[in-house]
Structure 1
Amino acid sequence: MEFLQQNWHWAALAVASGSWLLIETIRTKADKSLLSPIQATLLINREDAVVVDVRDEGEYARGHIPNARHIPLGDLERRKGELDKLRDLPLILCCASGARSAGAVSTLRKAGFEKLYNLRGGIYEWEKAGQPLDRGRGKEKGKKK
């Protein structure tokens, strides 16, 4: 007890960080639209999910999920019609960390898309999980192997 009295600030920090982790875990589990890299891979393989990368051109060229469609977030509102023929398929939105793609999910949900997912942690987590990255600009501009 004496230790806690003398080090109350460390104990408070431990309680606060533990609470934050618990809340974050509950929030993440409640959001069914968030996918881990492994869950995304399963969805791609089992249900022909389409990956839509919303990062800018330079980020996309440095490495993207193989066969990902590239529609930068700033262009999504204008170009969402390109995805109309994919309405029946699951769409996995990704960016560098998952923040921009969360906004993309919201934009497409408002446009009537239903099977929408956000790659949790973005390309960062995808690469960290050992999943493949394609380097270059993509099929339409001469994909590099």
Structure 2
Amino acid sequence: MDFVIANWALILLALVSGGMLAWPLLQGGGGAGLSPAAAVQRINREKAVVIDVCQPEEFAAGHVGGARSIPMSELEAKLPGAVKNKATPLVMVCASGVRARRAVAIARKLGYEKAEVLAGGMKSWRDANLPIEK
């Protein structure tokens, strides 16, 4: 007990830092998302569907090959019609990954438990020199 009293600040710091590390897991984020290489593996091995949540003009400027365009504002209404099987893995993509993180939360709320974000979005896809369709 003397140890706890004498080192309360260190114990508090350890608890707070542990909580901060566990927060993404508790929210269901699971970390930073898929790297471009991991996304390609998910697409090829598990037949994941790529959902691009960018605006139509961003999508037209360049997107992952075979991606389906569902703008973020229409995702909740259009995703169930676009991907009927909720067990299908989804890779959510946007320009930088920020909107796609919100899209993953919406998809999971709709029952798509295998929805994941492409970390870094189209920027990371381009940086990895992966093919882009226009």
TM-score, normalised with respect to structure 2: 0.75
Pairing of 1:18-37 with structure 2 (within 5 A): 31-32=30-31, 34-37=33-36
The answer to whether the 8 Å contact 2:52/2:69 transfers is yes
| Alpha-carbon distance in 1 for matches of 2:115, 2:125 | 18
SS of 1:42's partner is: helix
Structure 1 residue aligned with 2:54: 55
* AA matched with 1:96: A
Structure 2 residue aligned with 1:76: 75
> How many percent of aligned residue pairs carry the same amino acid?
40
Structure 1 residue aligned with 2:130: 131
* AA matched with 2:79: K
Q: 1:1-51: CA deviations, max 9, x gaps?
A: xxxxxxxxxxxxxxxxxxxxxx89xx69x8257100000001111110110
Structure 1 residue aligned with 2:89: 90
* AA matched with 1:42: Q
| Alpha-carbon distance in 2 for matches of 1:109, 1:60 | 23
* AA matched with 1:64: H
| Alpha-carbon distance in 1 for matches of 2:73, 2:36 | 24
* AA matched with 2:42: L
| Alpha-carbon distance in 1 for matches of 2:31, 2:47 | 18
Structure 2 residue aligned with 1:103: 102
SS of 1:67's partner is: coil
The answer to whether the 8 Å contact 1:33/1:116 transfers is no
TM-score, normalised with respect to structure 1: 0.70
Structure 2 residue aligned with 1:17: none
Deviation >2 Å, runs of 4+: 30-33
Structure 2's unaligned 5+ residue stretches are 1-19
Q: Does 1:41 align with 2:43?
A: no
| Alpha-carbon distance in 2 for matches of 1:134, 1:110 | 30
The answer to whether the 8 Å contact 1:51/1:93 transfers is yes
SS of 1:51's partner is: strand
Over 3 Å counting, the alpha-carbon distance change for 1:129 and 1:84 in structure 2 is closer
Structure 1's unaligned 5+ residue stretches are 1-22, 136-145
Alignment RMSD: 2.1
Structure 1 residue aligned with 2:11: none
SS of 1:52's partner is: strand
| Alpha-carbon distance in 2 for matches of 1:51, 1:86 | 14
Cα drift, residue 84 of structure 1 = 4.2
